[in-house]
Structure 1
């Protein structure tokens, strides 16, 4: 179970009391987390989710996350806004860690998305970017292109020869196009919009979760992260109907510019490499611990496939 910091009933009951949502009835850890400790919390007033922010770098960005969620919630996007105490405080402290209490959204994860799911998530992502591109909230991406180029060579030391070659080739591509990548149109990004961070009721999107990787950055990178997860076959290839649905729904909110069309294949590779690296690092850090460790090889395989053939962006200007 991926709960890094266990809680006792009494300490959690004291924490939730100022929210004026009634007595604590029950709580349980959520096994799916890989970075934070998350809990389902049952209160007399309803169901909530509690998150304890474990990583120090994420603790420093929690105010940004709360502000972004407030903005998206006010615009009608389906997100778990931060609940407030009677004093209006959104960020609390529990077990020595920053803590966030949010309403539990309806729906369930769809881990094998179809065309309708990809269309819905493309529409949601397009709305996020369109809403924030003109007046984005400032927050650097601590796992963007700079991070990839910094940590990539360090991870190469522990890889077999064939994988080192794949990593080196992709890093060289990114380094060569770094200036053009940094000039891509920007907005606030979700940064981690995998299938397990969205909820559906049937084919209807009921919520998007986990904004702790949100930041300001190239919109194309956010779209590539989604495409690599939502539209990939088991062998890592992109599924054309799902990708077309994703890009079409997203593109209805803003047209792609020419440099985005040119860099799209490389940004897909960069997005795959970003999660290959982060999963390698997490696997090393959590080896032997009773926490969820996601397979780094899944994104190595997707990176290999993105070097073969990638469909272009639609409606590029």
Structure 2
């Protein structure tokens, strides 16, 4: 179970009292987390999620709180920080920054269909349109500079064929960096994997885990999403899923020619980001059975499959 900081019932009850949501009925750790400790919390007043933030500087937490408030006011199905009776959103529990948020309805979809993918595309467009005119600035802590710093060190531990592919990808990132950073910007979820989206039937009912959210090129968010939602097991893009996702997005926000030009490179950039972060996590948590570590090799396979054009953006103008 990926709960890095266990909690006692008495300390949780003391933490929850200022919210005025009634008595604690039950709580349990959420096994799917890879970076933070998350708990389902049942109170007389309803169902909630408690997050203890384990990674990242505390100074960034007001950004996440403000971003989720903006998206909540825009009508997007996202969690948001509940306030205590005296207005506190960010608090401390077990010597960790702590947030209490409503539990969103629905469940994850492991094998999304075209409709699920279209729903994800529409959500991303709404997120971007809600923030593009007033971007809340926060550079990604795993952006292009981070890739250039971490990549060469991690490359040395890879087999020869993987080493060569990573070196080529890092060289492309260095070459295209100015154009990538000049693309249209907004706030990004930056981690819109299937396990961060909830559905009730075919209806998207919630998006969670905004702790990688940042400001940056909107195209990057789409590349992350398409790589995870629309790939065959061999890594190649499934156009029967990617085309509805991109079409649903572009129906709300049309793509620019620069985005169309850089779509293939951005798909590769998104592969590099998660390949590197998973390699780091695998090293850091090697032998820790209680921590869920995702397979870095998945993104090596995706990057290898992204060496040839396999997807185009619709309706670029």
TM-score normalised by structure 2 residue count: 0.98
Cα distance, 1:142 vs structure 2: 1.1
Q: 1:205 corresponds to which residue?
A: 204
Could you tell me how far apart the structure 2 residues matched to 1:19 and 1:273 are?
Answer: 42
Could you tell me how far apart the structure 2 residues matched to 1:220 and 1:144 are?
Answer: 14
- Please state if 1:44 is matched with 2:59: no
Q: 1:120 corresponds to which residue?
A: 119
Q: 1:19 corresponds to which residue?
A: 19
CA offsets 1:117-157 (integer angstroms, 9 cap, x no match)? 00001001000001111111111111111111111111101
Could you tell me how far apart the structure 1 residues matched to 2:310 and 2:240 are?
Answer: 13
Matches within 5 A, 1:60-75: 60-75=59-74
- Please state if 1:284 is matched with 2:283: yes
Cα distance, 1:234 vs structure 2: 1.1
Cα distance, 1:310 vs structure 2: 2.1
Cα distance, 1:60 vs structure 2: 2.3
Could you tell me how far apart the structure 2 residues matched to 1:60 and 1:239 are?
Answer: 40
Cα distance, 1:81 vs structure 2: 1.1
Could you tell me how far apart the structure 2 residues matched to 1:60 and 1:279 are?
Answer: 24
Cα distance, 1:314 vs structure 2: 0.7
Gaps of 5+ in 1: none
Could you tell me how far apart the structure 1 residues matched to 2:63 and 2:310 are?
Answer: 34
Could you tell me how far apart the structure 2 residues matched to 1:60 and 1:221 are?
Answer: 24
Three-state SS of the structure 2 residue aligned to 1:137 is: coil
Cα distance, 1:56 vs structure 2: 3.4
Could you tell me how far apart the structure 2 residues matched to 1:92 and 1:139 are?
Answer: 21
Q: 2:166 corresponds to which residue?
A: 167
Deviant stretches of 4+, over 2 Å: none
TM-score normalised by structure 1 residue count: 0.98
Q: 1:137 corresponds to which residue?
A: 136
Equivalenced residue count is 316
Three-state SS of the structure 2 residue aligned to 1:153 is: helix
Cα RMSD between the aligned structures?
0.7
Could you tell me how far apart the structure 1 residues matched to 2:146 and 2:264 are?
Answer: 19
